[in-house]
Amino acid sequence: MTEHNLDPKLAPEEITIKDVSKAYLRWHFANEIPHSFERYLAPSLLWALMPILRKLYKDDDRLRAAYERQLLFFNTQLTWGGGVITGLMSSMEQERARQEYNDEEITMSDDLMYNTKAGLMGALAGIGDSIDSGTVQYIFIAIAVPWAQNGNPMGALFPFIGFALYQVLIGLFFARQGFTMGRNATGLMQSSGVKNIIELLSILGMFMMGVLAGNYVKVSSSLAFDISGRPFVLQETLDTIMPGLLPLAVVLGVYYYYTKKGLKVTRALVGLTIVLAVLAGVGIL
């Protein structure tokens, strides 16, 4: 060991779960603030990790190198990606600092850390977006819609409060797990428990979307005429076949459009409005 590294003042401090929790909260609340085209969310991650890096690297040159290492291009989802990677980088930087201080071979190289981060950020973002934005937030909305219809202010507040608390808690969980598991954090995403949770949330989300469509998408036909002197009301006939058939057809039609054309919401709304207006104009709806 060199005399420089034997200086106890330069020894890295121990990183605790509390440190990692604070780092995640910094990432959570600064997530989109320094968003830039060149580095995307890397400044947010660096700001989150700065207190940890300062505890690990007491030498200015090594601290500067750690800052530069964590400032490379980074983009992922807030909780699933950001949580796991915040914890994982804390663990890997702690090992890197220990190796540098003890003059050991640097196995926790810059390339290894960035490749690990880059390999996880896209995969975890896909999971996080589909679960958080595509499922969980709509569960909170579905719960609150009846309250809003009855004039209860919680109908407007509950989805925001509930979803915000969920994201903080799930992000903290993943950050702590990422730190505890270290380089094996990817195993967390492959565990049967997490896979079961993802599947259950997906099923519940689809169920709640069906409930919302059935209760709040109102489409009915006004078409009625006589057949051999007997009145024929189309809506009554449809209700005997399957109540809610027209709302279901509209929802499935919009879903089919999204799968074929992509999530072009404005174009879908304009097109649906025109189609329904034409059908209403000719007396079918």
Runs of H (alpha helix) within 31-129: 42-56, 60-69, 80-101, 110-128
Summarize the confidence of residues 107-118 as an average pLDDT: 82
Q: Which pLDDT score, from 0 to 100, does residue 116 have?
A: 81
User: Which range scores top for mean pLDDT: 54-58, 176-180, 197-201?
Assistant: 54-58
Round to whole Å and give the CA distance between 20 and 69.
18
Q: Are residues 189 and 244 in the same domain?
A: no
Q: Which pLDDT score, from 0 to 100, does residue 211 have?
A: 62
Q: Is residue 91 part of a domain?
A: yes
Across the chain, what does the average pLDDT equal?
80
Q: Are residues 36 and 99 in the same domain?
A: yes
Q: Is residue 1 part of a domain?
A: no
Q: Are residues 29 and 105 in the same domain?
A: yes
The predicted-structure confidence for 191-244, as pLDDT tens digits, reads as follows 555 556 556 655 655 665 666 666 666 777 766 766 666 776 766 777 777 777
Round to whole Å and give the CA distance between 215 and 199.
25
Round to whole Å and give the CA distance between 92 and 66.
11
Q: Are residues 83 and 54 in the same domain?
A: yes
DSSP 285: -
Q: Is residue 2 part of a domain?
A: no
Tally the domains of the chain.
Answer: 3
Q: Is there a contact between 176 and 21 (Cβ–Cβ < 8 Å)? A: yes
Element of type H or E holding 196: helix 192-216
Task: Identify the weakest region by mean pLDDT among 45-59, 109-123, 246-260.
Answer: 246-260
Q: Which pLDDT score, from 0 to 100, does residue 64 have?
A: 93
Q: Is there a contact between 57 and 29 (Cβ–Cβ < 8 Å)? A: no
Report helix, strand or coil for 108: coil
Q: Which pLDDT score, from 0 to 100, does residue 25 have?
A: 94
Summarize the confidence of residues 74-78 as an average pLDDT: 89
Q: Which of 161, 189, 216 is the last residue of a domain?
A: 216
User: Nearest Cα to 129, choosing from 184, 227, 226, 201?
Assistant: 201
Confidence of residue 254 (pLDDT cuts 50, 70, 90): confident
Q: Are residues 43 and 86 in the same domain?
A: yes
State the residue range of the domain holding 209. 123-170+179-216
Q: Are residues 110 and 166 in the same domain?
A: no
Q: Are residues 13 and 115 in the same domain?
A: yes
Q: Are residues 43 and 102 in the same domain?
A: yes
Task: Identify the weakest region by mean pLDDT among 54-63, 103-112, 168-177, 245-254.
Answer: 245-254
The predicted-structure confidence for 123-177, as pLDDT tens digits, reads as follows 788 788 878 887 888 888 888 888 888 888 888 899 899 999 999 999 999 999 8
Round to whole Å and give the CA distance between 196 and 103.
44
Q: Which pLDDT score, from 0 to 100, does residue 191 have?
A: 53
- The region, left, alpha or beta by phi > 0 then psi within -120 to 50, assigned to residue 244 is left
Q: Is residue 274 part of a domain?
A: yes
Element of type H or E holding 186: helix 186-190
Round to whole Å and give the CA distance between 209 and 229.
42
Round to whole Å and give the CA distance between 34 and 75.
12
Q: Are residues 190 and 257 in the same domain?
A: no
Confidence of residue 46 (pLDDT cuts 50, 70, 90): very high
Tokens describing residue 53: 């890096």
Q: Is residue 3 part of a domain?
A: no
pTM of the model: 0.65
Q: Are residues 61 and 155 in the same domain?
A: no
